[in-house]
Amino acid sequence: MSIIKVLMADTFSISFFLLFAAVLSFILLFKSSKKKCSRYKFPPGPKPWPLIGNFNILNMSFPQRTMYKLAEQYGPVFTFHMARKKYIVLTGYDAVKEALVTQADDFGERGLTPSTKHNFDGKGIVFGVGESWKTMRRFTLSTLRDFGMGRSTIEDRIIDEAQQTLDVFAQYKGRPFNPTTHVNSAVSNIICVLVFGHRFQYDDQQFLRLQQLVSDSIRRSGSPMVQLYNAFPLKIFLMGDIQRVRANIKEVRSYYRKVYQQYKAEHDRNDVRSFIDRFIIRQNEEHNNPNTYFDEENMERCVSNLFAAGTETTSTTLRWGLLFMMKYPHIQEKVQAEIENVVGRERPPRADDRKRMPYTDAVVHEIQRFGDIVPNNLLHETKVDTTFRGYHIPKGTPVIPLLSSVLYDKTQWQTPHKFNPGHFLDAEGRFVKRDAFMPFSAGQRKCLGETLAKMELFLFFTSFLQRFTFQPPPGVQPQDLDLSPCPGVTSSPTPYELCAISH
Tell me the per-residue pLDDT of 365-387, one tens digit each, with 9 for 90 and over: 999 999 999 999 999 999 999 99
- pLDDT category at 39 given cuts 50, 70, 90 is confident
Q: Which of 11-25, 143-157, 277-291, 382-396 has the lowest mean pLDDT?
A: 11-25
Residue 274 pLDDT greater than 70, yes or no:
yes
Res 452: pLDDT = 95
Whole-Å CA distances, 2 to 6, 22, 223, 238, 302 = 6, 10, 20, 16, 41
d(CA 420, CA 407): 12
Dihedral Cα 402, 403, 409, 415, nearest 10 deg = -140
Q: Which of 19-23, 92-96, 166-170, 478-482 has the lowest mean pLDDT?
A: 19-23
Residue 28 pLDDT greater than 80, yes or no:
no
Whole-Å CA distances, 449 to 199, 313, 367, 423 = 18, 11, 18, 24
- pLDDT category at 33 given cuts 50, 70, 90 is very low
Please say whether the beta carbons of 130 and 122 come within 8 A: yes
Q: What integer is the mean pLDDT of 483-503? A: 94
Q: What integer is the mean pLDDT of 323-338? A: 98
Res 38: pLDDT = 66
Res 31: pLDDT = 42
Q: ∠31-33-37 over CA atoms, to 5°?
A: 150
Is 447 annotated among the ligand-binding residues? yes
Residue 267 pLDDT greater than 80, yes or no:
yes
Residue 2 pLDDT greater than 50, yes or no:
no
Q: What is the pLDDT of residues 173-183, one digit of tens each?
A: 999 999 999 99
85: left (phi over 0), alpha (psi -120 to 50) or beta: beta
Residue 25 pLDDT greater than 80, yes or no:
no
- pTM for the predicted model, two decimal places: 0.92
The sign of the torsion formed by the CA atoms of 170, 174, 177, 179 equals positive
What percentage of the chain has pLDDT greater than the value 70? 92
Amino acid at 104: A
Res 270: pLDDT = 85
Res 8: pLDDT = 43
Please say whether the beta carbons of 54 and 74 come within 8 A: no
Residue 88 pLDDT greater than 90, yes or no:
yes
